[in-house]
């Protein structure tokens, strides 16, 4: 099973003596459109691999980061692959530089090889589970394997131990996981090593302008926000099927004046459109803005900020349409149960509000088209209509954190009462 067309679905590929037999998969029809492509006579021109050789292993993996699954052959001292060109065709053989000697020739076992993208770069890296240690080789764009990273093995690497490489912690980076069936390991049947220390590499964490300004970024995987909301009884309306690393805090500092401004973010209702294979963002984002000053006004100093003008952190909640087709009669009100007056009721505060509710989005026919067609729209057409709203800001609420000296109930009520509210609607043509 291999994706031959780049549509995310597993197609069928059968290797024959002199050809590859392939069938593409369609969701409702199954495997259709069978075709054959001839194998090359020389392996330099195309794959003509033998799958039963005990001295080598054949894998299916994305070695060059193009999103297509390649045919990979590994031997002790050689790593090569044939890039997937689509529709059953494969390019010429590519040998990777700095191919490792995994183990002593008498000890090498191809079954100890594991393939995984351990650093999130998009290319498949190589892990070899030796007798007393494991080694990781990072893949540089399918051209070169860098110097290995080595670590000791927690337990054995053969039966009854099972070793897998997976995103165990749900943070988007890989872990090596040992599981055991032995009674002596009953108290801790699963052990793991976090290869990246739960931090995604290759992302910007700070910058400075060498004039006193420094900006720092902190990241949090979307799974953390998802679990927090689930435990708080606020399940997401939409879901993500993979972790997304989000900026959770930015810190801006002026080292000269002592000014410090902090933005904190929380994300809710992440959405990935499987049909369009498109990440749409998050349905609601909370932003908390906090500013502090190291030096207040002193005499004739240029810093004229007075301590009495200091304010508590400002909270902004922004709901956006993510193009998800959930209900026909709720195009723009998918998150209405999270607005401030609904949240007040959930917290036990019966507070009347005088907001004027805007009408929901209106779907109209384009000029020259009979409006009766709106009554016969298919599910696909409704989905496209909702998709047209993606990115549209639905509502913004501005609130403020209250000081601790206030009573708990009064503090909570004040924090739920917005200073300003802006809401929007639209017409879909």
User: What are the structural domain ranges in the chain?
Assistant: 40-153, 206-428
DSSP letter assigned to residue 410? H
- Lowest-confidence segment of 65-79, 199-213, 324-338 by average pLDDT: 324-338
pLDDT at residue 302 in the model: 53
Look at residues 101, 90, 78, 107 and name the one whose alpha carbon lies nearest to residue 13.
Answer: 90
- The contacts of residue 278 (CB under 8 Å, 6+ apart) are 272
Q: CA-CA distance, 425 to 395, in Å (whole number)?
A: 9
Residue 297 or residue 409, greater confidence: 409
- The contacts of residue 408 (CB under 8 Å, 6+ apart) are none
Q: How confident is the model at residue 408 (pLDDT cuts 50, 70, 90)?
A: confident
Look at residues 80, 77, 138 and name the one whose alpha carbon lies nearest to residue 102.
Answer: 77
| 237 neighbors 326 (Cβ within 8 angstroms) | yes
Percentage above 70 pLDDT, the chain:
92
Looking up tokens 């956006």, which residue turns up? 320
Return the structure tokens found at 140: 């540089």
Cα–Cα–Cα angle for 16, 18, 21, nearest 5°? 45
Q: Is the pLDDT of residue 286 over 90?
A: yes
Q: Is the pLDDT of residue 167 over 70?
A: yes
Return the structure tokens found at 429: 């043509």
Percentage above 90 pLDDT, the chain:
31
Q: CA-CA distance, 346 to 341, in Å (whole number)?
A: 9
Look at residues 52, 196, 221 and name the one whose alpha carbon lies nearest to residue 116.
Answer: 196
Q: CA-CA distance, 6 to 3, in Å (whole number)?
A: 6
| 210 neighbors 254 (Cβ within 8 angstroms) | no
State mean pLDDT over 139-158. Answer: 81
State mean pLDDT over 280-295. Answer: 87
Largest CA distance in the chain: 89
- CB atoms near residue 409 (< 10 Å): 11
Q: Which H or E run contains 416?
A: helix 408-416
φ/ψ of 386, rounded to 5, equals -65, -35
Q: Helix, strand, or coil here: 272?
A: strand
Look at residues 342, 386, 347, 338 and name the one whose alpha carbon lies nearest to residue 235.
Answer: 338
Q: Is the pLDDT of residue 159 over 70?
A: no
Q: How confident is the model at residue 425 (pLDDT cuts 50, 70, 90)?
A: confident
Q: CA-CA distance, 137 to 77, in Å (whole number)?
A: 13
Four-point Cα dihedral 336, 341, 344, 345, nearest 10: -80
Q: CA-CA distance, 143 to 123, in Å (whole number)?
A: 10
| 152 neighbors 202 (Cβ within 8 angstroms) | no
pLDDT tens digits, one per residue of 143-152: 999 988 888 7
| 294 neighbors 260 (Cβ within 8 angstroms) | yes
Q: How confident is the model at residue 156 (pLDDT cuts 50, 70, 90)?
A: low
pLDDT tens digits, one per residue of 84-107: 988 888 889 999 999 999 888 888
Q: How confident is the model at residue 82 (pLDDT cuts 50, 70, 90)?
A: very high
State mean pLDDT over 346-351. Answer: 82
Q: CA-CA distance, 19 to 1, in Å (whole number)?
A: 16
- The contacts of residue 48 (CB under 8 Å, 6+ apart) are 39, 40, 41, 42
DSSP letter assigned to residue 306? -
Q: How confident is the model at residue 186 (pLDDT cuts 50, 70, 90)?
A: confident
pLDDT at residue 298 in the model: 54
Q: How confident is the model at residue 309 (pLDDT cuts 50, 70, 90)?
A: low
Q: How confident is the model at residue 308 (pLDDT cuts 50, 70, 90)?
A: low
Burial 175-206 (b: 16+ CB within 10 A, else e): bbbbebeeeebeeeeeebeebeeeeeeeeeee
pLDDT at residue 385 in the model: 84
Burial class (CB in 10 A: 0-12, 13-18, 19+), 304: exposed
């Amino acid at each position: 099973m291999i994706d031959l067309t780049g549509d995310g679905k597993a197609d069928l590929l059968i290797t024959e003596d002199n050809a590859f037999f392939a069938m593409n998969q369609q969701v409702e029809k199954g495997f259709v459109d069978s075709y054959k492509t001839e194998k090359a006579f020389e392996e330099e021109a195309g794959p003509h691999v033998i799958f039963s050789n005990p001295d080598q292993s054949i894998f299916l993996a994305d070695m060059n980061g193009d999103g297509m699954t390649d045919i990979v052959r590994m031997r002790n001292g050689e790593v090569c692959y044939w890039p997937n060109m689509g529709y059953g065709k494969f390019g010429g053989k590519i040998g990777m530089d700095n191919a490792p000697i995994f183990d002593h020739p008498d000890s090498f076992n191809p079954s100890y090889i594991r393939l995984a993208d351990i650093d999130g770069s998009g290319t498949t890296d190589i892990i070899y589970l030796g007798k007393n240690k494991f080694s990781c080789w990072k893949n540089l764009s399918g051209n070169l394997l860098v110097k290995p990273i080595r670590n000791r093995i927690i337990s054995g690497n053969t039966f009854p131990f099972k070793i897998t490489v997976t995103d165990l912690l749900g943070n988007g980076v890989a872990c090596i996981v040992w599981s055991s069936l032995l009674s002596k390991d009953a108290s801790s049947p699963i052990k793991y090593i976090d290869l990246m220390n739960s931090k995604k590499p290759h992302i910007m964490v700070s910058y400075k302008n060498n004039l006193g300004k420094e900006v720092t970024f902190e990241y949090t995987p979307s799974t953390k926000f998802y679990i927090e909301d689930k435990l708080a009884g606020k399940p997401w309306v939409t879901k993500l099927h993979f972790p997304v690393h989000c900026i959770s805090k930015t810190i801006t500092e002026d080292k000269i004046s002592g000014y410090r401004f902090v933005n904190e973010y929380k994300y809710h209702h992440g959405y990935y459109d499987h049909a369009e294979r498109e990440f749409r963002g998050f349905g609601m984002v909370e932003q908390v803005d906090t500013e502090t000053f190291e030096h207040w006004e002193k005499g004739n100093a240029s810093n004229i900020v007075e301590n009495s003008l200091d304010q508590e952190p400002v909270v902004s909640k922004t709901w956006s349409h993510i193009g998800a087709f959930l209900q026909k009669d709720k195009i723009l009100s998918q998150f209405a149960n999270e607005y401030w007056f609904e949240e007040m009721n959930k917290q036990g505060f019966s507070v009347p509000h005088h907001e004027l509710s805007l009408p929901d989005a209106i779907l109209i026919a384009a000029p020259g088209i009979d409006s009766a067609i709106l009554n016969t729209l298919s599910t696909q057409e409704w989905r496209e209509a909702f998709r047209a709203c993606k990115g549209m800001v639905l509502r913004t609420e501005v609130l403020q954190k209250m000081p601790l000296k206030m009573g708990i109930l009064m503090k909570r009520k004040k924090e739920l009462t917005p200073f300003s509210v802006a809401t929007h609607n639209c017409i879909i043509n």
